[in-house]
Structure 1
Amino acid sequence: MLRHVFVKLLFFLSLYQINAQNLNQKPIPDWVEPTTPDYTASAEDAKASGFYYLLLDDQYNTEQKEYYERFTYKIVSKNGVQEMSDISIEFDPQYQKIVLHKLDIIRDGKTLNRLDMKDFRIIQREEDLERHLYNGVVTAVNHLYDIREGDIIDYAYTTLGRNPIHEGKVGATFFLQHTLPVAQIHISILKPENYDLFINTDNGAPDAKITSYKGNTRYSWSASDTKAILYESNTPSWYYPAPTVEFSAFENWAAVAKQYSKHYAVSEPDRVALKKASEAVLKWHKNRSDSLTALVRFVQDDIRYLGFEDGLNSFKPSRPGEVLQRRFGDCKDKALLLSTLLQCYGVEAKPILVHSINGTTLDKKLPSPFVFDHCIVQYKTELGQDAYIDPTISDQGGSLQTTYWPNYHFGLVLDENTTELTRLTKAKKPKTILTETFSLDKVGGGAVLDIETLYYDGDADDMRTYFNTTSTESVQKSYTDFYSSMYPGIRVNKEVVVEDDRKSNLIRVVENYKIDSLWKPTPENKKIIAAQFYPSALENVLYPVSSSERSMPYLTNAETNFEHKTVVYFPESWDIENESLHLDNPGFSYDYKIDYKNAALEITHHYKGKTDYLEADQVAKYLDLHNQIQNQSTYQLTYGAAFVDSPQISAGSYTLTISLIILGVLLSALLCWFLYTTYDLPNTVDERWQQPIGGWVAFFGIGIVLTPLIVMGTLLFSEDLHLNATHWEYLFDQSFLLGLIGIVELLYNSAYLIFSIFVAILYFQKRTIAPRMIIIMNAAVVILFTLDNIALLQLAPDEFNPAETQNIYGEILGVMIKAGIVICYFAFSERVKNTFTNTNKTYTEPEHYEFNTPEISPGQQSSL
């Protein structure tokens, strides 16, 4: 107990010492350019924030390493009193001191001096503690008392000292407009004549006002009455539309690399010692690639991420041997350790500075070390290509050659020979494939749902940490809760299985559920039930952030590569048309496909990102295409639901269909037998004019022979005629006439099969009735085909779009033309009459009587 009290006492004593040594009071330095805020200024849009900045003043003195800041703001509401009654000043006590100049409260035109050193307390907040970083920065805090609505708070201070690792060089970016309204903004930098300074302005920032002060050059910028920048939704973090002033003491990227790469140099003795120490802790393999991969995984997984970045440590890495021994380090520590180890084993590798979020715009900035916030490793592959490893990412899979790295866009290789930024190559795009398989037990019933999710490359890396730190029970509960929102009756059938092939960097997750009820009545018609299939795992990409008319870039994700498959196995055949859709856009590509065969339906959605952001004029089309995807993302199966109330009728029963086929066959067979045995036409063609089957008769005979085969195929394979009990229920539920049409179609096709066989027999027997039967058969086809299709168009017009309707009328016309040719030929052709001459009966020729005429002699006359 006493030990803890003693530790706390030492802590407070150290903070008191910091307060005494690093925080004091003095007048404003002479080098500061005077500014005068307008205490009467106001802003209409200040109510939302509760306060309004009257002055923001930032001034640098490069020679004395001093940074002056002044803040003047007016409290305009009670919310402003709550938010802005505290003053916080951060500094690093290892090399910085704070000099307070003024702290005034202006109330009702009177100035109240509130600067009292006793009111400031030193605290150490460690804002990056959650990221396992300790930067050593402390905060001087003053909780102002008696602050009221309408008060103006005006305070100024100077930070003395800069990190010595920068060797007196500066670099910074300032904005002449902010997300809050500001009445006056002032920026200046004072430098000696022999101090190189490079300046860049952007987004309409004015050129600097150049003045002199005691032999030094001052660059100043000012802005007045600036409006608040209203960022549009989903704007990338790197986008700053404000007028910008950027300055740097570094002439080029080579100067940056040269100054800071020396801190990453490792001596040969340290390198030898590191290799020896690593051999004692690393697990080596016979295969070189596996050994190098194990080395990378050791630094990523076994050297924990922890950084003490106070003082020089904020830019200078620890020695690799020290990091290996203590088993922790920040990004630059781990990057230097990994690159040195790889060098020890013959791999060309270097640390490279990057920005973890805003790397897109690094090439547009002035050279400076302050534009980076992260450090990774660049190495050469066996093929001599540049590749990268982020040593701070743990639980990665794959080999050294296939390890995934985020797209940081640009980086600065820490080598004294570096002259330019390096554009980082992109890693292989990660991918996720999710397959949901529904095995339906019956229409209107439930299903077994099998889910397989495959995570590849970077997606596997992202999921591995989750699965390694989450119990199977928690994973199962999370997944079940996700699906229960869509299928309330879902329950786990088999426990979730997670298989991790880390070497191939593939994670496979298998789930199995039982859904008691997959079907629901439709809102439009309670007698119709429906089952819906929706790619819920794609919801984040299918529904991007909406945006009205915009002027700013729009954030997208180039790494998205998700394929969602839904497979449905039916207990019976369905009438489903295959279809596909392809959408392409600068931001993404999307493929949608419906594939049905053998009572199995496969629905595929494949979404791939293509870029990290879109220009403002590309966003409207991007969102319109997503709306198009959303409109067809849900696939719905519908059924007439009358059978649900009649359990005695099996959904898979074909009794009525089979009965109708048998009835049609029997009736047609009886008719054909009657015609064959009783109906005949006499032959009127003399035997010498009779002809065999040939010519056009033979040509049309090909169609006569093929017709029974075609009709048989229709009955066997056309799903339109495979009507079970639920199909009949659905048809009659929609309309009695639709059900009647179904009965007529089935009777007609089964009767037509027998009649076409009957006609083929007559054709080969060359019966005299064959032409007439052929004419009757073709006429029946025209009449029934026309009536059937017209009836369907009248009874169910919503089922046909204009193109389909036009196509139906075209088919009717085609059938009429074909049948008309056949009918005309067999009705009027002389060849037909001379070919079909055989009869079923024997006809008796009529008797011929001969008359004997008496011979008449010449000169005699007949008395007849």
Structure 2
Amino acid sequence: MNKIKQFILAILLFILASGIQSKNIALHPYPEWINITPVAVNKTQSEHQSKGGVNHLLFETQTRVPQKQPPSYYSRHIKRILNPTGVETYSQIEISYSPIYQNVQIHNIKVLRGDVSIDKFTTAQVKILQQESEAKNLIYSGFDTLSIILEDIQVGDILEYDYTIIGSNPVFNNIFSQVSSLQWSVPVDNRRLRIVWEKETPLIIKQHGNEYAIKQTPLTNGIEYKLSIQNTQPLNTDSNAPEWYDKYDYIEFSESKSWKEIVNWGIPLFLEAIKISPEIDALAKKIKNTAKTQEEQITQALQFVQQTIRYLGIEIGVNSHKPSYADETLKRKYGDCKDKTVLFLTILKALKIEAYPALINTTLASKLTERLPSMRRFDHVIAKVILNDKIYWFDPTRQYQNTQINKIYQPDYSLALVLKNSTYELEKMDIDHQSTYSRILEQFVLPAEVEDKTQFSITTESSGYNAELNRQNLASKGLADLKDSYFNFYKDYYPGLIVKTELTITEDSETSNRISNESYEISNFWERDNEEKEFYAWFYADSINGYLSSKQTKNREDPLAISHPVNIEHIIAIKLDDREWTFESENIEESNSFFDYSRTIEFDPINLELKLIFNYRSKVSFIETAEIPEYDAALERIKDNTTYGIYRSFEAKDFINQESNNTTQSDIATDQSATEETQINNDIFYYWLAISAYFSLIIISLILWRIDRKRNPFEGELIYYPVSIPKFIVLSILTFGIYCAYWIYRNFKYIKTKEQITMMPIARGIFHQFWYYSLYSYLVNDSEKRFSKNQLFPSALAVIFAIIYLILTIISRKSDYFIFIQLVLVMLLLPLLIYINKLNEAKAIDYNSGWSTRHFLLFLFSLPIIFFSTGESFGFLPADSVISGDKLHSHDIAFMQRKKIILPNEKIEYFYSDAVLFIRNDGNGYTSDRVFSYWLDETDQFLFETALYNQIDDIEVTWSKTTQENTIIKIIRNDENNSYFLLFVSSENKKDKVFVEQLMKNWKTVSQ
């Protein structure tokens, strides 16, 4: 067989061979160069800040770098097993290595159980697994995994094991570089780092995020570098941080002094592969004969490599960085990024077009300049092409870039190392993304009669990356599925949607833009509001709304990544009927350092056309932490700005036609059923009228309170929540204890903000009868810090007071002596109030102690139990237990859909709200597709979290111990940082069990 067939056969045999092998692997003695030092292990178990069920007692790495021989890497681990999760996770040790150029030596595996040391290697099952972790990305590295399955690992065991990996990839020509981590998302009691440097060239060291003193000791044949750190504290990165962001401490080691050395290493690898064979020469001549200009030649060469050579990376051994010969890639019709780039460059070379390979780091971007020079810093290769003194960057691994070369999209990786003899430094790429944009034109033709169908058509033009992505979607999904997905998307907004003209997709030969057209008819387009006697129609700039949604930035410490580049123009043209419509012109603009946004409303009274024009253009790919408040403020200024509604009043003809239409559609309806339906509607109407009147009183009070605060803002310091004793007593009695709950809530809100702890102050206010002693404890701690003694009363007496407070609160709900009992409850709280008032200045107490109209309105809130029970019965207020999704009102579900918490077509299975009055303030639940939680923070900012089931790594449940507590469900994502969010579910009537059972069933169904 020729060499190509031999190579392919060898690769196939390698991939198919020994999926699982067993080998007789023995323990090896420690090499002389390794320095083994004892570790003082604290035998006290602690789960504080631990993850994965272990305490990391020691992580030690030692590296020996000889002058000519390959380096050796020694690792030592000591872990304390804390719980069954730790037993399950760490009963198996896995060590990854490349059998082509490395071998593994196990030195020791043992368990310290009490005072007894137990050898665990002799009873372990040792296997070699071939696990290709990147096979899903079509990359095969040839790495093996040494799997060691341990027997009889128990909670409380201290597991210790160490090993050495000898060898490194020969493709690096024995040029050393290493990155040593010093910090993780878990605490580490001891971190030891040692490098034995035996080379003549100096070792360059760069520390990131730390200034630890690295001890240097001369050796007979080199230098020892040593670092020992105790009690490394954990760090967590906020979700949605930029890929390049790394705040963990680490140290870089390298013997390369400059990027020029990396260029000198890379040029021979690629130069050897870029050779024009007869087949490539013939291909170049064919391109030259069909392409009139060099621009067209580049386009054809790029499209040939992108579309004819499939992506597949056989990156075994030196092939991890050494490209295949161009003619080999052409013949076998597959290759990875470096193989495809080499073929593309070779074709350009045959066409006499100047081009070079460029090494890329797809993650670090501009931060690459902060790293030491190393060939290991790069994970991708693209091509730099120079034509008529203009620079182009092309990626032969991308697909569906059917366009002109000046419009081909290329991600901006910021920096590239071009493999060219004249290159000495990293080169800034300066990518122009103006060619990437989308234009959406939605046209509505509204009929004269509300019962008639509305005509709806959409034309979408996309360019650059957007066109490329759309072509890829069409290729992967197929036109039929794409039609269905487009239809279902719009049907979520307009349930009466039916297809009029099927989706068509065309390519503009002049601009290389992708254009799609589709049209529909919408039945029942107008939403009927019987109370207001009006019909409403809503229009959505849905293509932009997602970029303007509020981000979770409360107390954020890390930068925030946002989508970029994004350039969208969304036009909604509404052709109106011949009524006397009037609309005011409007132009809203928001321009800042992060994005440009505008909304323009134009009305043509002659042609009766209303036009809504939305534009959004991103400027950056991330927001610095210090800039997040400014970014949030910009989003707040245009909040809910991508939705626009119009309305028309009822007319007699409209009303009669609508009712007549409903009657004909229901063959089984009778006059009696119609009467009953009318009566139900009337009951609901009067109920809502009563509720509206009741809430109006609340709103008036809140408005007056806000006005008072704005007119007379307090500029001093409020310590806890001070208030005069007379006002506290009077309002507590007049409001039947509500003011007591409010006062306790405000104090816990102060505690939460000051102490930066996780709690729900509003819940503690509502269930204030259970939180008396907790509030007392916080105040005692405060007193001991301020005055070095307890200035309240003894804790034993506080326990008695707390019990009395709890019992009287429960009794008072049905007692005829409510006022007397309430007065006793107030007396129990007075010592706490007196202490708080003592901490505050007189002006702080006076600020909360004034009387106004709103306080007299509060008297109308004297029957909260009746109010709450009535509201819960009708479902307009949060229930005190878990409910099924079908019990939620449509307006609450529509609210969740508008907030993008759930999609319009999703049905909520189970739901619970921990809010006091409004379901829109707090909610937890799930559909058949996702889990969600939303809430208002202390600043009334609306926040929410969602996760699809396939995005969930684990679900942890902390069951409530009493009916007054919530069961807490922790949803852990399977992203890089294992970010999570919480669901709070009432245990009332044990419905939290039902909630969790179905949630687990949904998740396991998807994950399996």
By the TM > 0.5 criterion, same fold?
Answer: yes
8 Å CA contact 2:193, 2:228 repeated in 1: yes
The 5 Å alignment of 1:295-314 reads: 295-314=301-320
User: CA–CA distance in 2 between the matches of 1:241 and 1:408?
Assistant: 20
**1:386 aligned to which of 386, 391, 395:** 391
Among 600, 612, 623, the residue aligned to 2:632 = 623
Pick the structure with greater CA Rg. 1
Unmatched segments (≥5 aa) in structure 1: 1-6, 651-864
Q: Is the 8 A contact 1:432 1:561 kept in 2?
A: yes
SS state at 1:551 partner: coil
Matched, 1:476 2:451: no
Contact 1:31–1:213, Cα closer than 8 Å, also in 2? no
Contact 1:176 1:222 in 2 (8 A): no
CA distance, structure 1, for counterparts of residue 213 and residue 652 of structure 2: 81
CA distance in 2, matches of 1:431, 1:604: 15
Q: In the alignment, what sits opposite 1:58?
A: 61
- Distance in structure 1 (CA, Å) of the matches to 2:245 and 2:145: 29
Residue matched to 1:341: 347
Compared with structure 1, are the counterparts of its residues 411 and 489 closer, same or farther at alpha carbon in structure 2 (3 Å cutoff)?
Answer: same
Distance in structure 1 (CA, Å) of the matches to 2:20 and 2:609:
76
Q: Give the secondary structure class of the aligned counterpart of 2:112.
A: strand
Distance 1:432 1:112, change over 3 A: same
Aligned residue number for residue 607 of structure 1: 616
Residue 506 (structure 1) aligned with residue 509 (structure 2): no
Between 8-17 and 190-199, the greater mean CA deviation after superposition: 8-17
Partner of 1:568: 574
Which residue is 2:414 aligned to? 409
Q: Distance in 2 between matches of 1:282 and 1:645?
A: 66
8 Å CA contact 1:303–1:324 kept in 2: the answer is yes
TM-superposed deviation, 1:158 = 0.5
Deviates more, 1:28-37 or 1:304-313: 28-37
Distance across 2 between alignment mates of 1:390 and 1:70: 41
Distance 1:578 1:308 in 2: 61
Matched with 1:396 is 401
Residues 323 and 463 from structure 1, CA distance in 2 versus in 1: closer, same or farther, beyond 3 angstroms? same
Given candidates 182, 197, 214, the residue that maps to 1:191 is 197
| Native 8 Å contact 1:274 1:320 kept in 2 | no
Q: What CA distance in whole angstroms lies between the structure 2 residues aligned with 1:10 and 1:234?
A: 39
- Percent identity over the alignment is 26
**What SS does the aligned partner of 2:319 have?**
helix
2:329 counterpart of 1:323? yes
**What secondary structure, in the 3-state scheme, does the structure 1 residue paired with 2:556 have?**
coil
The question of whether the paired residues in 2 share the 8 Å contact of 1:283 and 1:294 is answered with: no
| CA distance in 1 between partners of 2:318 and 2:658 (Å) | 83
Residue in structure 1 matching 2:269, options 259, 263, 272: 263
Shift of 1:410: 0.7
Calculate the TM-score normalised by the size of structure 1. 0.70
Give the length in aligned residue pairs.
Answer: 639
Inter-partner Cα distance in structure 2 for 1:301 and 1:502: 19
AA of the residue aligned to 2:360: V
Residue 576 of structure 2 aligns with an amino acid whose one-letter code is F
> Is the alpha carbon distance of 1:642 and 1:39 closer, same or farther for their aligned partners in structure 2, counting shifts above 3 Å?
farther
Which residue of structure 2 lines up, in the alignment, with residue 182 of structure 1?
A: 188
Distance verdict in 2 for CA 1:416–1:34, change over 3 Å: farther
User: What's the offset of the Cα at 1:46?
Assistant: 3.9
Paired amino acid for 1:271: I
CA distance in 1: counterparts of 2:363 and 2:189, whole angstroms: 31
Deviation readout 1:385-416 (Å, 9 max, x if unpaired): 22100010011121233322111111111123
**Counterpart of 2:624 in structure 1: which amino acid?**
E
Find the aligned partners of 2:495 and 2:522 in 1 and give their Cα distance: 8
Indicate how the Cα distance of structure 1 residues 286 and 555 shifts in structure 2: closer, same or farther if over 3 A, else same: closer
Q: State how far apart, in whole Å, the 1-side matches of 2:132 and 2:205 are.
A: 33
Alignment of 1:688-699 (within 5 A): none
Q: Does 1:156 align with 2:158?
A: no
Q: Structure 2: any 5+ residue segments left out of the alignment?
A: 1-10, 660-1008
Q: Check 1:532–1:349 CA distance in 2 against 1; reply closer, same or farther (3 A cut).
A: same
2:29 equivalent to 1:27? yes
Name the amino acid aligned to 1:236: P
CA offset at residue 468 of structure 1?
A: 2.3
Equivalent residues of 2:20, 2:130 under 8 A apart: no
Amino acid at match of 1:432: S
Aligned to 2:438: 432
Give the superposition deviation at 1:267.
7.6
Match of 1:265, SS?
Answer: helix
Once residues 557 and 12 of structure 1 are traced to their aligned partners in structure 2, the CA distance between those partners, rounded to angstroms, is: 41
CA distance in 2, matches of 1:415, 1:78: 56
SS at match of 1:546: coil
1:595 is aligned to 602
Residues 739-818 of structure 1 mapped to structure 2, 5 A cutoff: none
Alpha-carbon distance between aligned partners in 2 of 1:11 and 1:233, rounded to the nearest angstrom: 37
* Equivalent in the alignment of 1:457: 464
User: C-alpha separation between the residues in 1 aligned to 2:510 and 2:130?
Assistant: 43
Which residue does the alignment assign to 1:491? Answer: 498
Corresponding letter in the other structure for 2:52:
S
SS in 2 for 1:335: helix
Residue 674 of structure 2: aligned partner: none
Q: Deviations over 1:752-779 (max 9, x none)?
A: xxxxxxxxxxxxxxxxxxxxxxxxxxxx
Decide whether aligned partners of structure 1 residues 144 and 276 sit closer, same or farther in structure 2, where only a CA change above 3 A counts.
same
The one of 85, 94, 103 equivalent to 2:100 is 94
* CA distance in 1: counterparts of 2:38 and 2:637, whole angstroms: 57
Match of 1:224 in 2: 230
Q: 1:336-394 deviations in whole A, cap 9, x for unaligned? A: 11112112212110111101222231111100011110000001122x12210001001
In the alignment, residue 176 of structure 2 is paired with which amino acid?
A: V
Letter in 2 for 1:278: L
Structure 2 counterpart of 1:233, one-letter code: S
SS, match of residue 472 in structure 2: helix
Determine if contact 2:288/2:351 at 8 Å carries over to the other structure.
no
CA distances 1:23-81 after superposition (whole Å, capped 9, x unpaired)? 55312222223344443265543455322211111221111510111122122122222
CA shift, 1:8, in A, is: 12
The Cα shift of 1:645 comes to 5.4
Which residue of the partner structure matches residue 126 of structure 2? 120
**8 Å Cα contact 2:124/2:150 also seen in 1:** no
* SS of equivalent residue, structure 1 residue 386: strand
Deviation of 1:456 (Å): 0.6
Question: Relative to 1, partners in 2 of residues 1:603 and 1:112: Cα closer, same or farther, differing over 3 Å?
Answer: same
Q: 1:287 to 1:180 in 2, by over 3 A?
A: same
How far residue 127 of structure 1 moved from its aligned partner, in angstroms, is 1.0
Amino acid at match of 2:61: D
Provide the C-alpha distance between the structure 2 equivalents of 1:346 and 1:69, rounded to a whole number of angstroms: 51
2:195 and 2:225 in contact (8 A); partners too: yes
Q: Determine the C-alpha separation between the residues in 2 that align with 1:51 and 1:243.
A: 22
CA distance in 2 between partners of 1:510 and 1:283 (Å): 36
Q: What's the CA shift for 1:274? A: 5.2
Q: CA deviation at 1:110?
A: 2.0
Q: TM-score, normalised by structure 2?
A: 0.61
Does the residue aligned with 1:120 lie in a helix, a strand or coil? strand
Report deviation, 1:107.
1.8
How far has the Cα of 1:438 moved from its partner?
A: 0.9
1:25–1:520: structure 2 CA closer, same or farther, 3 Å change rule? same
